[in-house]
Copies of this chain bind each other. A is one copy, B any other.
Amino acid sequence: MQWSDRYTYYQNIVEEALDSAIPLAVSPWEEGQIPQRLAEAMRYSLLSKGKRIRPVLLLAALDVAGGDLRCGIPFAVAIEMIHAYSLIHDDLPAMDNDMLRRGQPTNHCKFGEWTAILAGDALLTEAFHIMAQSDSPYALKVIKEMAKRAGAYGMVAGQTADLSFEGKLADENMLSYIHRHKTSDLFIASMNAGFMLAGSDDGLIKAAENYAKMLGLAFQITDDLLDVLGSSEEVGKAVGKDDDKLTWTNLKGVEQAKIDAEKAVQKAVDYAQSFDFSDYAFFAPLAQSLLQRVK
């Protein structure tokens, strides 16, 4: 199987699980169900067509380590819920004030601001609810990992830094801090969760963490490049609006950004050698494919 077919295979598992994770209620305020308006807003962002890279990483890591894919599903759903919540809140008027996401109106444009804030809060909480229903012996360990990477020590720290430096001068250290936390931390959580659920040893988890760090960096640099080089139609969100933001392209220029993306991908490929040992490589070509990103 081609690596991209395997990607699609995992993606399909994820899509099906996401669809049933947030059921629509039959009436607006049915006891024991999610209020209709809230469920619609949660589903709107969670089910909008995304790459599903985080849950795919989680399932692929679990798979390559010989674990049972079914036991990874609640955690794959949870990481995508955490990602979806972060996008909803990042797009809010008080944050990035974005109108377009994945080619659709952002959540607050569609449902209004207070519903968007609550939909984000609810997706974040539901991520933990769904993980806590797992009967994996490693569930608690994975919940801890997810919370650490998503919260004040991880993704939220990255977003805090990103917004703190908007329109300000900063150096490469600060830019790395932002990328590491805003993007890589959830990639790391995904890979680690997959290997943890398979009961892998710490050496493997360390290699996976290094891979995820580089993959996240390459992902974020190519994201910055798309903002400069892509069209809004292709990318599915507003482009060219990061002018006063601290981005890789603003700091180092387009040519150097391309070189840095290639370097990060090469490092990711190197790290993948130690665990990309199924019949056909998956993690190495996945990293390489980032250099061809158009959205």
Contacts and interface: CB of A to CB of B under 8 A. Distances in A.
A150 interface: yes
A206 interface: no
A45 to B, nearest CB: 13
Contacts of A22: 152
Contact of A128 (B31, B121, B143): B143
Nearest to A148: B129
Interface stretch (A110-118, A210-218, A250-258): A110-118
Interface stretch (A32-40, A58-66, A191-199): A32-40
Contacts of A1: none
Given A94-B117, A117-B95, A139-B140, A161 B129 contact: no
Main secondary structure of the interface of A (DSSP, over half): helix
Given A38-B156, A152-B42, A156-B118, A147 B129 contact: yes
A29 B171 CA distance: 13
A290 interface: no
Nearest to A158: B35
A163 interface: yes
A85 to B, nearest CB: 8
Interface string A106-130: 0000001111011011101110110
Size class of the A contact interface (CB-based, 8 Å): 35 or more
A161 B35 contact: yes
B34 A152 contact: yes
A147 B161 contact: no
A273 interface: no
Contacts of A121: 85, 89, 120-121, 124, 151, 156
Nearest to A153: B34
A77 interface: no
A172 to B, nearest CB: 13
A157 interface: yes
Contacts of A132: 140-141, 143-144, 147
The 5 A-B residue pairs whose C-beta atoms are closest, nearest first, are: A125-B151, A129-B147, A132-B144, A94-B113, A122-B152
